[in-house]
Amino acid sequence: VIVTITPNPALDQFYWVERVNEPETALLTRANQTLSSPGGKGINVSVQLKALGVDSTTMGFIAGHMGHAIEHSLHAAKITTNFVWTDGETRTNVIVIVKGKEISPLEVNADGPIVSQMALRRFQKRFQTALKRHATLMFGGSLPPGVPDDFYLSMIKQAQDQGLKTLLYASGQTFNQACPQGAWIAKPDLRERSEVLGKPVHTQEQVHAVGRQLLETGSEIVIMAHGLSQPVASQMVLTQEGVWDYHVAEVQPKNRVGAGDAFLSGMLFKLQRGEAVPSAARYGMAASIACTEAYTTTINNRAAIERALRRVKEDAL
């Protein structure tokens, strides 16, 4: 029923280290633990939904050895793929997490392969078919080179024209270009720039004001992360009916990557089951906490989410 679209997937390479050695001490730093996992917002949501027992299909552009690695890994997790192949090599993102500094990992993301015109045409064909098979479409992450800036805008419009529900989770210009279309759920990614539609989102008041502006585009639910320097970012959820803020006091962070995706997955999981927005958002926040406290980019397990649920604080604003 759900399809996730990640135009620019990545193979996320995680390295947990005791410390990063200074060149004067040693030229080599050894990792205590490593993880290689398929990444990108839509892919993360598909993996997390699977952990919650929900099947989805994931789409996007892949290329080269890394593309095969991603596809193989997703098939092993019994996730349905509908990728379009392009030239070059799918990107690798490197995340170095130093012990004691888990909340500020070194994250280096690559641009991704240049998507060919032929691959774009193929994607459009496969997307048209996907529109006939799915009720909910989630668009997430950056656009690789070669993909036009209005990619999400156009896809969301096509989905809305068929009466389908859409979710948009992206950053910067990619989000700004598509958000006027009023996706059912809109969530700007603020990790790179604390700005949406040219407006700053540093304080809770600013977050609230921009969230309100996004509601005016027609989105039914707007999710705004804030307090990004905390181990688990707080999430403000806005609808026409109310505004709620979700946060957590204490967390044992191991990996922040994927925590925003986990919020969306947890919330979507509950909304699909007919739960009200505040209840679904609480579950999303619990999923975000569970994800942060695990050595993976996905929700560890449902029991961990249930335990985290007790620690979620909710304020009606």
Partner 1 sequence: LKVKDLMMRDLAAIEEDTLVKEFVYILTNCGLSSLPVVDENDRIIGIVSERDIIGAVLPGYHETLRGTPFAPNPDEMAQKLQAIERQPIKELMTSPVTTVQENEDDLYAANIMFQNNLKLLPVVNNEGRLSGLIRRIDLLKILR
Give the number of residues in contact with partner 1, rule: CB under 8 A: 22
Binding flag, residue 122, partner 1 (CB under 8 A): yes
Binding flag, residue 272, partner 1 (CB under 8 A): no
Q: How many CA atoms lie within 13 A of 156 on its CB side?
A: 25
CB nearer to partner 1: pick between 40 and 211:
40
46 to 65, contacts with partner 1 by CB under 8 A? 57, 63
Binding flag, residue 132, partner 1 (CB under 8 A): yes
**Distance of alpha carbon 197 from alpha carbon 213, whole angstroms:** 9
CB nearer to partner 1: pick between 82 and 239:
82
> Which of 127-135, 200-208, 262-270, 303-311 is the region at the interface with partner 1 (rule: CB under 8 A)?
127-135
Of 19, 21, 36, 68, the residue at the interface with partner 1 (CB under 8 A) is 68
Of 125, 202, 212, 313, the residue at the interface with partner 1 (CB under 8 A) is 125
Exposure string of 174-186, with b = 16+ CB inside 10 Å and e = fewer, is: bbbbbbebbbbbb
- Give phi and psi for 137, each to the nearest 5: -125, 130
CB nearer to partner 1: pick between 30 and 132:
132
Over the window 247 to 266, marking each residue x when it contacts partner 1 by CB under 8 A and - when it does not, the resulting string is: --------------------
Of 118, 209, 276, 317, the residue at the interface with partner 1 (CB under 8 A) is 118
Closest distance to partner 1 from the beta carbon of 118 (Å): 6
79 to 98, contacts with partner 1 by CB under 8 A? 79-83, 85
Q: Contact at 8 Å (CB) between 122 and 166?
A: no
CB nearer to partner 1: pick between 122 and 307:
122
Closest distance to partner 1 from the beta carbon of 231 (Å): 35
> Which of 75-83, 147-155, 156-164, 249-257 is the region at the interface with partner 1 (rule: CB under 8 A)?
75-83
CB nearer to partner 1: pick between 67 and 146:
67
Closest distance to partner 1 from the beta carbon of 230 (Å): 37
- Spell out the residues 6+ positions from residue 57 whose beta carbon is closer than 8 angstroms to its own: 2, 3, 4, 46, 79, 80, 81, 82, 130, 133, 134
CB nearer to partner 1: pick between 159 and 238:
159
CB nearer to partner 1: pick between 73 and 206:
73
Q: Which residues sit at the interface with partner 1, rule CB under 8 A?
A: 57, 63, 67-68, 71, 74-75, 78-83, 85, 118, 122, 125-126, 128-129, 132-133
